[in-house]
Amino acid sequence: METLLETNNLSKTYVVGKDNQINVLKNVNIKINEGDLVSVMGPSGSGKSTLLHNISGMDRLTSGNVKFCGEELVNLSEAELSSLRLKKMGFIFQQIHLLKNLNIFDNIILPAYSAKMESRNKINKRAKKLMKQTGIADLIHNDITQASGGQLQRVAICRALINQPNIIFGDEPTGALNSKYANEIMELLAEINQTGTAVLLVTHDIKVAVKTERVVYMLDGSIVGEIKLGRYLRENHDMEVREKKLSTWLMQMGF
Ligand SMILES: Nc1ncnc2c1ncn2[C@@H]1O[C@H](COP(=O)(O)OP(=O)(O)OP(=O)(O)O)[C@@H](O)[C@H]1O
């Protein structure tokens, strides 16, 4: 597998107030290969979201570097970074940021129309295909007020996938959903990953992490452990065995 994303001693420091420095990420080294399915766990405040923001170029690191698709993010301008994010990365968050003045279909196609990489006809066709794949084909004419939370997260997934990114970053993507919807969304992300898109998720939810291929654990700004669970869809693993393995390990980590 080719390396898709790699950090080298990634550190992030915030300055709060006059001269109070907080070292939120401390020499983090993480490698994501093409097609990986990884989750990041750890206690609140350990730096998970900050890691996601820094490896995806949403935020600027303080020292070290991040290489994504062969590009050193530190060398890119803001415009180059946003173009890279638009074309090669997809994002899903706990709070689903959809535009209220656009209907569901238009929210999905917007990033592709903005990227101008393909004809509108081709984009529309892919959007319809994604809506079908994610089980929301019936919502094509609906406004975003005319869908459930679980359906809106599927809309966000379609939007994240519309430019055929190399990776999807999810920051607690199931955090606002009930357990049924959360489970469905995680199944969907695992299926999408099967088609080759890497997925990196920040999560507190063992039920989400258990469906990922490996779990890294963050504590106080550092990655302090990693467990490999294997691909559950591909290898048809026993869920109970995976859950036991993961929860025992998380307990050892102090979760
Ligand atoms: N913009 C900022 N300015 C100052 N401190 C920040 C900023 N963003 C995050 N922090 C601090 O960095 C630390 C890590 O925050 P982060 O959101 O990455 O943690 P997390 O592990 O994702 O937490 P949670 O699980 O609660 O979402 C926290 O102490 C937080 O207060």
SS3 224: strand
Mean pLDDT of 36-62: 96
250 CA → ligand 1 middle, Å = 21
- Ligand 1 pocket, residue 50 CB under 6 Å: yes
- Ligand 1 pocket, residue 49 CB under 6 Å: yes
Substitution candidate for ligand 1 out of 24, 95, 218 with most atoms within 8 A of CB: 24
The pLDDT > 70 percentage for the chain reads 98
**Terminal CA-CA length for the chain:** 31
CA-nearest residue, atom 18 of ligand 1 = 47
Query: What is residue 30's DSSP assignment?
Result: -
pLDDT at 222 over 90: yes
Mean pLDDT of 150-179: 92
Q: How far apart are CA 242 and CA 208, in angstroms?
A: 12
> Which pLDDT band, with edges at 50, 70 and 90, does 92 fall under?
very high
**Per-residue pLDDT tens digits for 103-152:** 999 999 999 999 999 999 999 999 999 999 889 999 999 999 999 988 99
CA-nearest residue, atom 17 of ligand 1 = 49
Predicted local confidence at residue 82, as pLDDT: 94
DSSP codes of every residue in 90-127: EEEESS----TTSBHHHHHHHHHHHHT-S-HHHHHHHH
Predicted local confidence at residue 234, as pLDDT: 67
pLDDT at 236 over 70: no
21 CA → ligand 1 middle, Å = 13
Q: Is ipTM over 0.90?
A: yes
Asked whether the beta carbons of 166 and 197 are under 8 A apart, the reply is yes
Inter-CA distances, 160 with 96, 166, 170, Å: 11, 11, 10
**Is the pLDDT higher at 184 or at 219?**
219
- Ligand 1 pocket, residue 15 CB under 6 Å: no
* Backbone angles phi and psi of 162, in degrees to 5: -60, -30
- Ligand 1 pocket, residue 90 CB under 6 Å: no
pLDDT at 10 over 70: yes
> Which pLDDT band, with edges at 50, 70 and 90, does 182 fall under?
confident
**Per-residue pLDDT tens digits for 193-209:** 999 999 999 999 999 99
Nearest ligand 1 atom, CA 46: 21
Mean pLDDT of 153-170: 94
pLDDT at 63 over 80: yes
CA-nearest residue, atom 28 of ligand 1 = 45
pLDDT at 233 over 80: no
- Ligand 1 pocket, residue 192 CB under 6 Å: no
Predicted local confidence at residue 235, as pLDDT: 65
pLDDT at 89 over 70: yes
